[in-house]
Structure 1
């Protein structure tokens, strides 16, 4: 057995044991190497996707489906971590970064600014002197220390992170990788009986943006869940990226600033099985949808919170994104020292986003299994920073020469947005290929209700 295969299987056993669900046999094949890094991103991809697949297989068996098993192709798993880079609209690749997003040298190191949303771009510009062009931002950063830039941008409501070493980050409080806990006791909820797909009939509310949260719900849709994404016309999205993350879903608009919008969401929560939310910690609670209130609305709900930084840390409420977390947690610093580049070295994919997304899907299904076997309401919390810690713990390797992604895992479909080229979902579940039944919908095209 190869080293990577051994570590993947050990990771899967640990994840299933921590969530209190049965382990599932996993067959691993194929060749890794697409994601070249000193970090074991190959193991991260295989283990996170294998965990989600294993939970889906276990839930399917619980409701009378085939005996649980998982088949995982390492090359496909790594390719799935690059889905947004393979995604095309009418043959055109996505523009993933706004003009001011990036790494900037400072007086004493480096800082990264995330400016993909207009409000965050405006905050960075205000914090750094008001000139909205890259040359001016570059000059302003060079005049200040990294922590000064970080603090100034955050104070204006923006998103930034200074480059830290792993030792500096290790001093912060940390929590479990997947924090699945019972909110309250209650009767067991039937898994719904025999189904043709693992999550057939499961209702999932999707209140997420960008990659990690949307990927979790996209994964649940691939397993057969009815996923309703809740957005609003006034909430910005990253153009194009939202399409890659919306396969198999429906989309409705609710303005949660209004009582009518909140009333519609309360009605949806009351009849949902799973709610996944990825907004900044406290944002939904301030609107009346914190974990305890969600439990009051639906005592059998499985809720999953995805954040940038770990619960319990002083940074928990901060705005954050994958690229920022890579700098803050020391991943980019150690890779920089290894490469000798003198500047932060990113992971070869938005690997923290993708892994956290699959882990969130795993947590959601684990919660469904626990409510079917133990009863009650279940709540899970995950973070990009927690996933970064997991990746760091998987060890190091010499970066391999990148391999070619498998062409047979890329497909195309016609849609209201034009012809879309996309990466097929990875992992076979009990001999069944996960799939999406529909292309990305038009934004807000569905009413706020279930199929």
Structure 2
């Protein structure tokens, strides 16, 4: 796995990583893809990046560690959480799932009411599993995908890897780097306030939804950042995911569809150090928060943009989620058999950890060189990277994660969660508090 870590670190920095100790075997997760190796490398990269920020503070980070079993638990965290000892409720809505079509398979994402409505509208059926199943069975997969996406929903036909490679969006993803990290405007160098933590005093504004963006914010919070998650009271959410990814963050509601809400967001950005957003490409720009406006509003800001299918190509603005990207890019393709997804939401989690690593790398560059920086990653790009790692024996060992769990008070009650992965002797990562109830905090920065 060391070569995987070195490859990721080179993609981030163009250099070789510092001391890092990797432990554990890849059989902690089943399936042919090297998901455990990707998880370990993602955790290692974020922890190494935190160590580099410690060095800027004059603190010796020590030897970074990343354990494969712990990384696997982190990538499966939403399924391991408990509230008052009770397991998390299912994250999939009744209509979400894989459907057999006349010529293959298609996956429909219906976890939000507007997406479920788009499926029913696009297919002309009532909101029942039986009705959708019958409607889809009589159509070809591409027709279903087109009908649902055209109605404003989220769907993906199961393609083979070769079909994806020949697809215009597959070609676009292949032309993009795993991590795009570049300055977009000039700005003075940043001065770090005193702290014994890598991100102490760093303000992170998080405008994200499931799952990659919230994972990135969770990692940054564990390394000491003041992370403020911004949502909206009227928007639906998957509570199990919100509980899992809200560790160490404050949470507020801002209505971005109002003039007052946009003014509030502008004030928050003007005092932020990092903005993480996972709106569809171009969505924030349409309400006055494009990269150029952000660079002018807050010189020196680090902007992280996350997308499903990448920032170039015909699908750049398409709605997408981990499960859909796995279908579209062929990772779930199993020949004539049923779709075979990855054992965890690996594209989401890996993208989240890598985004955190890229943000910390950009902050390091901002301190040493100045400038306003932009970071871009995508689930499809992460999938391409995972695919490039090769294959392993698909068998998986029976793994117990119990010793990696901890209990903490939260806004939801007594919460069982996966301990933060990645070892940094100079400043071990941890969350200051458990998940707060969404929207409970004021839309302001702490003093």
- TM-score, length-normalised on structure 2? 0.95
1:31 Cα shift? 3.4
1:84 partnered with 2:78: yes
Contact preservation (8 Å) 1:112, 1:161 = yes
The corresponding residue for 2:219 is: 219
Secondary structure at 1:180 match in 2: strand
In 1, Cα distance between the equivalents of 2:32 and 2:214?
28
Q: Deviations over 1:380-410 (max 9, x none)?
A: 1100000000000000112133331332210
In 2, Cα distance between the equivalents of 1:380 and 1:344?
32
1:308 Cα shift? 0.4
Secondary structure at 1:371 match in 2: helix
Distance of aligned partners of 1:30 and 1:432 in 2 relative to their CA distance in 1, 3 Å threshold: farther
In 1, Cα distance between the equivalents of 2:426 and 2:107?
43
The corresponding residue for 1:115 is: 110
Pick from 15, 18, 21 the counterpart of residue 27 of structure 1: 21
The corresponding residue for 2:57 is: 63
In 2, Cα distance between the equivalents of 1:38 and 1:364?
30
1:45 partnered with 2:46: no
Secondary structure at 2:413 match in 1: coil
Q: How does 1:367-386 map to 2 (within 5 A)?
A: 367-386=362-381
Secondary structure at 1:77 match in 2: helix
In 2, Cα distance between the equivalents of 1:162 and 1:173?
18
Pick from 149, 155, 164 the counterpart of residue 160 of structure 1: 155
The corresponding residue for 2:13 is: 17
Q: How does 1:293-308 map to 2 (within 5 A)?
A: 293-308=293-308
Secondary structure at 2:118 match in 1: helix
Q: How does 1:197-212 map to 2 (within 5 A)?
A: 197-212=197-212
Q: Deviations over 1:106-157 (max 9, x none)?
A: 0111000000011001110111222211111111111111000000000110
1:38 Cα shift? 0.4
Contact preservation (8 Å) 1:212, 1:354 = yes
The corresponding residue for 1:95 is: 90
The corresponding residue for 1:75 is: 69
In 2, Cα distance between the equivalents of 1:184 and 1:7?
34
List runs of 5+ in structure 2 lacking aligned partners: none
In 2, Cα distance between the equivalents of 1:431 and 1:255?
40
Pick from 130, 140, 143 the counterpart of residue 138 of structure 2: 143
The corresponding residue for 2:283 is: 283
1:32 Cα shift? 3.5
Pick from 417, 420, 438 the counterpart of residue 415 of structure 2: 420
Secondary structure at 1:389 match in 2: helix
Secondary structure at 2:183 match in 1: strand
Contact preservation (8 Å) 1:55, 1:366 = yes
1:64 Cα shift? 1.6
1:431 Cα shift? 4.5
Q: Deviations over 1:204-259 (max 9, x none)?
A: 00100111000000100000100001111112211221111101000111111111
1:284 Cα shift? 1.2
Pick from 3, 8, 13 the counterpart of residue 7 of structure 1: 3
Distance of aligned partners of 1:67 and 1:416 in 2 relative to their CA distance in 1, 3 Å threshold: closer
List runs of 5+ in structure 1 lacking aligned partners: none
1:352 partnered with 2:347: yes
Contact preservation (8 Å) 1:209, 1:278 = yes
1:185 Cα shift? 2.3
The corresponding residue for 1:441 is: 436
1:22 Cα shift? 6.8
Q: Deviations over 1:183-204 (max 9, x none)?
A: 01232112334x2211111100
Secondary structure at 1:359 match in 2: helix
Secondary structure at 2:26 match in 1: coil
Contact preservation (8 Å) 2:40, 2:66 = yes
The corresponding residue for 1:240 is: 240
Contact preservation (8 Å) 2:59, 2:426 = no
Q: How does 1:400-411 map to 2 (within 5 A)?
A: 400-411=395-406
Secondary structure at 2:279 match in 1: coil
Aligned residue-pair number: 439
- TM-score, length-normalised on structure 1? 0.95
The corresponding residue for 1:231 is: 231
Secondary structure at 2:28 match in 1: coil
1:165 Cα shift? 1.3
1:68 Cα shift? 5.2
In 2, Cα distance between the equivalents of 1:297 and 1:17?
27
The corresponding residue for 2:164 is: 169
Contact preservation (8 Å) 1:76, 1:405 = no
